[in-house]
A and B are shown apart, each in its own frame.
Chain A
Amino acid sequence: MNEPLLRIVKNEAMSFKKKVLIRAVAVILALLVCGIVITLITGYNPVTVYVTMTQGAFGTKTRAWSTVKEMLMLSCIAIGLAPAFKMKFWNIGAEGQILVGGIVSAGCMIYLAKIGNAGLFILMFLLSALAGAVWAFLPALFKAKFNTNETLFTLMMNYVAIQLTSYFVAKWENPIGSNTVGVINQSGHEGWFPKICGSQYFISLIMVLVLAVFMHIYLKYTKHGYEIAVVGESENTARYAGISVTKVVIRTVLLSGAICGMAGFMAVAGASHTISTSTAGGRGFTAIIVAWLAKFDSATMILISLLLAFLESGSSEIASKCHLNDFASKIVIGIILFFILGSEFFINYKLIVGKKGEKK
């Protein structure tokens, strides 16, 4: 008789060890596939590929810090997105929130260079967070009041932010005709993160670590965190419990936007010292997947960010060695994410081959 060959069964509880193992296998498989893809394109043998990638990512102190910088950016955004996503608010608008944070930071550096670094930093920090929050406020408001689709709302806000950035790039153009803002405050370094422990990224590192710890505690041990979890699970339950859904949605998304705005501050003051439409560079999207895969756990988000940052720097190194372009890293990141996303299936479900597969 004809019988179904494969059956899928829900997997109730899996040991922590096994979960880690499944994910590790997924990452290794993905790295193998990436190796093969790169080999096919460049003709390098796979071992050379990974040696070169490691060198590219961690070969020198500068490169290592640059990889860390990438990791910090991704982690910072992912940490910012975590509370919104935990509440099932699809904030696809991190790109825009980063950009407006960046615009404000750049504006401060240009117009307020004279007020002294301490004041400037505080101002940039606060104003960029505020800008990010404002950018997130509109979609949150409409979501809370009219249940307007936040995915597309935040997405469109990205493009409004990009046009706004273009406007300011045109306004602050330097030198005239270059269509870029150039490095701001090249001579006096006003508003640049100072070098500590030999790196300008040290402050960013501290910032992200503080944020990570804060977010961990916020989501797990506070009343706000509890409210977020309840609203994320079911709005009806939240209303039943006497939680004001409108208030929680707006408050949480403001926080999310503010942290993404800070990421813009970090990108401008702490790294590039300029602003352009590619300041966010797609990280706002990648970070969504980071936050999702980490199930909003701070430490895991940092770990995944590190993996992606390594791939990014590593594949850029290969691309530049072969005179190919930088987008190679996006392919590699795409592949790795596909594998990790797919691996979740084997954590949540069990495959049974044939009918007598699991009988006593």
Chain B
Amino acid sequence: MNSFITLFQAAIAFGTVILFGCVGEILTERAGNLNLGVPGIMYLGGIASLASVFIYEGSTDSPSKILCVIIAMVSAFIASALGGLIYAFLTISLKANQNVCGLTLTIFGGGVANFFGGSLNTLAGRFEAVSVPVTSAAFRTNIPGISNAGTIGKLFFSYGFMVYLAIAIAIIVHIFLHHTRRGLNLRTVGESPQTADAAGINVDRNKYLAICIGAGISGFGGVYYVMDYIKGTWANDGSIEKLGWLAVALVIFTTWKSSHAVWGSYLFGLLYWMYYYIPGLTRRSQELFKMLPYVVTLLVLIVNSLRSGKDKQPPKSLGLAYFREER
């Protein structure tokens, strides 16, 4: 039972990182843009939150917890949205290829994050390892009282606030996309920009907004990873990139519905941590077992391509640039 609880908790934690990434990407793809820059954006979000509170915590003796969280979230959102803005400008205004621009954003974001992650202390003239204990503690604060109250408490109430934020955002995005007129307009842009244009919807503005806000949401995945998952430190081990790609893959798994992303992401988390709870694995065979989430993603991809339901397809103009006067 105990090992199930820890596995469940690990799955939720892992799932939350990719849930943010995935929901942001769903918003982006619904507007017709395939952004392969999600890993880069999550990197940007992660490093922005870390760098900003690192400076803040270093500047005062008694940092305020709430301020720490606000600074981390706001700077992460801004940095990620700026990453999205670069991508949006290139793909919408300059009509460059979406895949290539996304990949470049991933290279760039990874570069920026790992550069500052590794050099933050040198640049700040401090020599201790980068760490933001106060902020991390704030992010990891759970609801006192019920978080340890029995199995239910441990399973569902033992997490930092971002776990619940992720679920809330996923649901809000779902309601927005499927039950509001603005969401309907956005989906029209992704399905058929010509139709949207003829209906008086500003295609470019919708795309810009969806990409930048989507990037901001994805960036929270980086924040959660840095602040909660690895407890306010930095590791140049490419983990965020890996998680970012899983988030992109999860979008297909969910058939572009953020309501499915919630359980999908936790399922991925479960698969990822499974090896840890299977007895008798050596270090070597553990490495092989860690392939599981990727192999399952592959299977999902294949199964998905065999489905033919019209409502389970990607947005029709995903990946295509729109130019009104194209003849």
Contact = CB atoms under 8 A, between A and B. Distances in A.
Q: In the complex, is A directly touching B at CB under 8 Å?
A: yes
Interface of A: 8-10, 41, 90, 92, 142, 146-149, 151-153, 155-160, 163-164, 166-167, 170-171, 282, 285-286, 288-289, 292-293, 319, 322-325, 327-335, 337-338, 341-342, 344-345, 348-349
Given A148-B302, A159-B294, A289-B103, A333 B111 contact: yes
Given A285-B103, A334-B111, 11 more contacts: A8-B325, A142-B302, A149-B252, A152-B248, A155-B245, A156-B295, A170-B283, A171-B284, A292-B97, A324-B123, A334-B107
A330 B107 contact: yes
A158 B115 CA distance: 23
A298 B106 CA distance: 25
User: Which of A149, A164, A348: most chain B CB closer than 10 A?
Assistant: A149
A330 B283 CA distance: 32
Interface stretch (B71-79, B88-96, B213-221, B258-266): B88-96
A344 B101 CA distance: 12
A146 B294 contact: no
A90 B319 CA distance: 12
Interface string B284-315: 11011011001101100110111000000000
A338 B122 contact: no
Interface in B88-135: 89-90, 93-97, 99-101, 103-115, 118-119, 122-123
User: Which of B96, B104, B252, B297: most chain A CB closer than 10 A?
Assistant: B104
Contacts of A348: 95
Contacts of B119: 324-325
Given A10-B326, A156-B294, A330 B305 contact: no
B287 A163 contact: yes
Contact of B291 (A163, A171, A349): A163
Contact of A329 (B111, B294, B295): B111
B182 interface: no
B249 interface: yes
B71 to A, nearest CB: 22
Contact of B104 (A151, A289, A344): A289
Interface of B: 36, 86, 89-90, 93-97, 99-101, 103-115, 118-119, 122-123, 236, 242, 245, 248-249, 252, 283-285, 287-288, 290-291, 294-295, 297-298, 301-302, 304-306, 323, 325-326
A280 to B, nearest CB: 11
A341 B104 contact: yes
Contacts of B290: 163, 166
Contacts of A338: 86, 90, 101, 104, 108
A152 B114 CA distance: 24
Given A171-B284, A327-B114, A333-B111, A160 B295 contact: yes
Contact of A170 (B105, B287, B297, B301): B287
16 contacts: A92-B36, A142-B302, A156-B249, A158-B245, A170-B287, A171-B284, A282-B107, A324-B119, A327-B110, A330-B115, A332-B111, A334-B105, A341-B96, A345-B94, A345-B95, A349-B95
A8 B94 CA distance: 10
Nearest to A333: B107
Contacts of B294: 156-157, 159-160, 163
A337 B103 CA distance: 10
Contact of A288 (B90, B103, B242, B302): B103
User: Which of B100, B248, B325: most chain A CB closer than 10 A?
Assistant: B100
A-B pairs, 5 with minimum CB distance: A330-B111, A334-B108, A325-B118, A345-B94, A327-B115
B301 A334 contact: no
A325 B235 CA distance: 13
B325 A10 contact: yes
A329 B119 CA distance: 13
Contacts of B103: 92, 285, 288-289
Contact of A90 (B99, B101, B109): B99
Contacts of B108: 330-331, 333-335, 337-338
A344 B114 CA distance: 29
B306 A146 contact: yes
Contact of B96 (A8, A10, A142, A345): A345
Given A10-B326, A289-B103, A153 B301 contact: yes
Contacts of A333: 107-108, 111
B100 A341 contact: yes
A313 to B, nearest CB: 15
Contacts of A92: 36, 103
A322 B301 CA distance: 45
Nearest to A334: B108
A325 B115 contact: yes
Contacts of B118: 324-325, 327
Nearest to A331: B111
Contact of A342 (B36, B90, B114, B304): B90
B258 to A, nearest CB: 18
User: Which of A151, A322, A329: most chain B CB closer than 10 A?
Assistant: A151
B102 to A, nearest CB: 10
A8 B111 contact: no
Given A142-B305, A342-B94, A344-B96, A325 B248 contact: no
A146 B301 CA distance: 10
A167 B298 contact: no
A246 to B, nearest CB: 15
Contacts of B283: 170
Given A163-B290, A327-B114, A333-B107, A149 B99 contact: no
Contacts of A288: 100, 103
